[in-house]
Amino acid sequence: LCGLCLLAVMLPVASSCPPPCLCYSDGSVDCRGRGLLSLPPLQLLPPGTLSLLLANNNLASLGASAFANLSSLEELDLSNNYLDNLPAGLFRDMSNLTKLSLHNNSLTGMERELFQGLGGLHSLDLSLNGLSSVPLGVLDELQSLRWLSLAGNRLRGLERAAFEPLANLQHLELGQNPWECDCNLRDFKHWMEWLLYRGGKVDAVECTLPKDLRGRDIRGVPVEMFNYCLQRPGGAPPCSKALSPSGAPGSDKSNAAEDSSSSAGAGGGEAPADCVRARYRPASVRRAIGTVVIAGVVCGIVCIMMVAAAAYGCIYASLMAKY
């Protein structure tokens, strides 16, 4: 009897299924690997469909109402397609969606209202895209999110305020990004430490720049290395903003530590030499070296005074003993 029940779940449902997909009695609709250039007729989905799998196709764009009236859907897989621009509010009708995968597409940006209506989402996969930033507000409605992957993008820095609404986040993947461990990443580093403190998990965040930190995990970089960020005169913007205001993903900054002129060229303008020096040789390090030198001189003087005092004491004691 149990075998018959299992067979019934696995068999495709013949009626009310959008071609060329396969619909199963467990509520899943499998359209993977069908070479689709556009969405199948979703109005033919069986009532109560829970899972829609559209991975491994040739989808390049989606209309703003592509997923209208799919409130019962709990899982949507759009991975391994060619999606490069998703309209705002695309998922607004999917109030029950808990898992969304956009892995391995061509996304270079996200509209602020892209994830509107996904208050119950638990898992979001944005890995292997071309994202160079996470806009403020785009994650605000994802307060139930527990798992998020931004690995394999073009992220150089992140804003702490963009992630603070994720009060229930437990797992964050950030690897394989060209991180610039400068002032732009300081506040986000603090937020990561808070996430780790409350039991969350974050994978390696390896620095690409500056040269002195290349290959190091920013989680292990002392916070004192970022003290100079608070001491820029007049609240000047971080050097990285002066070097790359647009954050163009195509600029190659891997050699910026060796050649400041190429780093300036990546942002379309020249940065002052002192800005470049401050960026790659923090003032806190220079002050620390000066402090060590001064402390050494003071300690030397004290030692000489102690030796002189000891010699005087010995001479005085010998004279007193003689008389």
What CATH number should be reported for the domain holding residue 172?
Answer: 3.80.10.10
State the Cα torsion 278-284-290-293 to the nearest 10°: -130
pLDDT tens-digit readout, 107-140:
999 999 999 999 999 999 999 999 999 999 999 9
The pLDDT assigned to 212 comes to 83
Cis peptide before 237 (omega within 30 of 0): no
151 — pLDDT class (breaks 50, 70, 90): very high
- Determine the 3-state secondary structure of 176 from DSSP: coil
pLDDT tens-digit readout, 242-273:
333 333 334 443 443 344 333 334 344 444 44
Q: How far is CA 243 from CA 105, 179, 182, in A?
A: 28, 15, 12
59 domain-assigned: yes
Strand ranges in 132-257 using DSSP code E only, listed in sequence order: 147-149, 171-173, 179-180, 201-202, 207-209
268 domain-assigned: no
Cα gap 197→267, rounded to integer Å: 36
The pLDDT assigned to 145 comes to 97
- List, in sequence order, the alpha helices (H) in 32-88: none
CB atoms within 10 A of CB 197: 8
Q: How many domains does the chain have?
A: 1
167 domain-assigned: yes
| pLDDT reading at 280 higher than 60 | no
87 domain-assigned: yes
137: burial class by Cβ within 10 Å (0-12, 13-18, 19+)?
A: middle
The pLDDT assigned to 272 comes to 44
289 — pLDDT class (breaks 50, 70, 90): low
Residue 34 is encoded by which pair of tokens? 């069908």
241 domain-assigned: no
| Partner residues linked to 202 by β-bridges | 172
**DSSP secondary structure letters along 96-125:** T--EEE--SS------TTTTTT-TT--EEE
Contact partners, residue 265, CB within 8 Å, separation at least 6: none
pLDDT tens-digit readout, 191-248:
999 999 999 999 988 998 888 888 888 888 887 777 677 665 544 444 444 333 333 3
| pLDDT reading at 278 higher than 90 | no
Q: What is the pTM of this model?
A: 0.68
Count of positions (residues) in the chain: 323
Identify which of 73-82, 202-211, 279-288 has the greatest average pLDDT.
73-82
267 domain-assigned: no
121 domain-assigned: yes
Q: CA gyration radius for the chain? A: 29
Q: How far is CA 163 from the centre of its chain?
A: 9
91 domain-assigned: yes
| pLDDT reading at 2 higher than 50 | no
pLDDT tens-digit readout, 292-315:
788 888 888 999 999 999 888 888
Structural domain for 90, as ranges: 16-177
Cα gap 134→152, rounded to integer Å: 14
| Partner residues linked to 179 by β-bridges | 207
